[in-house]
Structure 1
């Protein structure tokens, strides 16, 4: 319909007034249909069906250029949108998806829920993205309004994305076991049925108060997947999340055989130590008191060191050996794939030692190849 009279004049003048008043902002994200790639075909959604997913959680910067793109199938944006990343990922037939989080009390109202979902879809379209990863880690009581609202959110998000963006992918991040956190009573069977993948976060699993220990113990991690499968969830919908980081614990006492009682404790919390990326730990381990040690029970490496203040520390982490053991289960049990938190935790420099360490960590995701 043609614009007439005053309304038409304001349509022409208002942008100029806003510009003069310093109120005109240019959005970094392109409009739907405005492709930032040299080849416009790269802005088309990825519709490929993968026989094995590898999720890479991206936290910013340009290190994505050094990811193992022969493996990566989905990049999750836990950082600002980078159109160059989107174009490159699409050239490698990899999806790039939003990271979505919303307060559950807000989406108890169906109208708010619909508005939030539409906003995410619109954003994905503007950025030429391929779906969304729902990372909601809020406490929920069984059969509460939030319990039902969360399930509805996943169902409606998946339905809307699949309808609006061809080949789009909707995933949900779950705890290492469906009963791992009794404050998070989620209807995981319904959630997994609604979305494409349930990304199981097999880390931050240390709940023994007062002692340092493995971040992702082998038997415990695998038991979590068996618990999900017992709920009736198809193994192909489960993605194994492995940590590319460890925890640095300060010891009140360090007893033989290498038992670290913690200087600081917080009941029912795993994060009583400092989270440290793998690349940083690799710069520490060779100069530590012990060098790399191996715990055969939890199938996890660790080492001890002493800081400048005289305190002993114990560091537990995952490396190619521990990750390969868990990754082998992915194939054996027929899971849908694997991924890491987070892909920026490796050293992507040109240092020869770092190059090999980084190569080994990526290879550990599919050790059977």
Structure 2
């Protein structure tokens, strides 16, 4: 019975694969066959032509879609493939189903069918569920699931790409006690999400801080390499966004440097960046340029190598502190990736810039230095 189901799925996939190519050149519907190369992975949540036309296609190697694939513009597909840029779908699988091998197979075949139907290049697996330290059997199942996915994708087309997103450091960050070395070997490469590193704050005082301190990017990278993961299997993903924190406590003024924030629990830790609100880089630039808002000049922390500033929020009349990344802080972390000779750089999210702001080009150039 299982064999009949598999044959039926494969037959459907073959029919989907034969869908007419929407590009003027049929070869642009083939998976990109660039082989191993330095990577720039751009995560995207917005399908807006004015934005994706402004991407730096000279450096973008993989575009990971985190919006419904049916919304993908065929013009974007054809443009990306003409630039030898892969387009992959972002997808997840519930860890509580890892024991269900039928569910695994159905999920894998569904992803393959989707990739074939839309003439794409693979899948970026984004699983961030809890696997406790004493659940190593579950961790092993996750590694096996990724290996199975990669095998079945490559069996259909060796040019398909299968990648896996991991926390900013190895170990049990956010209670994700995964087999990171196994995941790196099971996939084409893993992508370390070097952002939201304040998701669990263990210090005595709950205060605002940088989204990605440069020291954490360094330490996190070392933690993966110390496991024996080759640098060629690791991509460092950085943020084009920041956090807006409401400062609490008596006596907080616009000129205070320390911003105490409310307790906000995340996965067993009482202090977390969940107390803040995410802002796109373009939104932060607009806020800094808004002359009607009372604020400090942009500051720079030599402790975490990141910019920040305070402002009076007109909605609640309270002091807020914003920590973010700009071209300078991104460049420092790109230098770290170069130092360790990593496979490449990723950005969450490449749609967080504005085509009308001069700072946008600086952000792209900060990433482009990796390839120079």
Match of 1:68 in 2: 56
CA–CA separation in structure 1 for the residues paired with 2:98 and 2:119 = 25
Task: Between 242-251 and 135-144, report the one with greater CA deviation.
Answer: 135-144
Question: 1:253-281 CA deviation, whole Å, 9 max, x = no partner?
Answer: 43665100114543143321000000000
Check whether the contact 2:210–2:323 (CA below 8 A) recurs between aligned residues. yes
Match of 1:26 in 2: none
CA–CA separation in structure 1 for the residues paired with 2:207 and 2:271 = 12
Check whether the contact 1:204–1:271 (CA below 8 A) recurs between aligned residues. no
Match of 2:281 in 1: 278
Task: Between 191-200 and 142-151, report the one with greater CA deviation.
Answer: 142-151
Q: 2:34 aligns with which of 27, 42, 48?
A: 48
Match of 1:300 in 2: 306
CA–CA separation in structure 2 for the residues paired with 1:320 and 1:311 = 28
Match of 1:90 in 2: 81
CA–CA separation in structure 1 for the residues paired with 2:33 and 2:26 = 16
Give 3-state SS (helix, strand or coil) of 1:259's partner: coil
Question: Superposition pairs for residues 176-195 of structure 1, below 5 Å?
Answer: 176-179=168-171, 181=173, 183-195=175-187
Alpha-carbon distance, 1:31 to partner: 3.3
Question: 1:124-157 CA deviation, whole Å, 9 max, x = no partner?
Answer: 1111111110000000123444322211111101
CA–CA separation in structure 2 for the residues paired with 1:217 and 1:225 = 13
Match of 1:258 in 2: 257
Moved over 6 A (4+): none
Give 3-state SS (helix, strand or coil) of 1:171's partner: strand
Check whether the contact 2:263–2:271 (CA below 8 A) recurs between aligned residues. no
Q: Structure 1: give runs of 5+ residues left out of the alignment.
A: 1-29
Check whether the contact 1:60–1:80 (CA below 8 A) recurs between aligned residues. no
**Is residue 136 from structure 1 mapped to residue 135 from structure 2 by the alignment?**
no
Match of 2:332 in 1: 325
Check whether the contact 1:250–1:264 (CA below 8 A) recurs between aligned residues. no
Label 1:160 to 1:219 Cα distance change in 2 as closer, same or farther (>3 A): same
**Is residue 240 from structure 1 mapped to residue 236 from structure 2 by the alignment?**
yes
Match of 1:149 in 2: 141
CA–CA separation in structure 2 for the residues paired with 1:54 and 1:250 = 34
TM-score (norm 2): 0.86
Question: 1:21-59 CA deviation, whole Å, 9 max, x = no partner?
Answer: xxxxxxxxx932221112111001101024310001111
CA–CA separation in structure 2 for the residues paired with 1:139 and 1:94 = 33
Instruction: Kindly tell me the number of residue pairs found equivalent between the two proteins.
Output: 335
> Considering only aligned residues, what root-mean-square deviation do their CA atoms show, in Å?
1.7
CA–CA separation in structure 2 for the residues paired with 1:190 and 1:344 = 31
Give 3-state SS (helix, strand or coil) of 1:324's partner: helix
Q: Structure 2: give runs of 5+ residues left out of the alignment.
A: 1-14
Question: 1:39-95 CA deviation, whole Å, 9 max, x = no partner?
Answer: 111001101024310001111222211111111000001012212221110011000
Match of 2:6 in 1: none
CA–CA separation in structure 1 for the residues paired with 2:209 and 2:187 = 33
TM-score (norm 1): 0.87
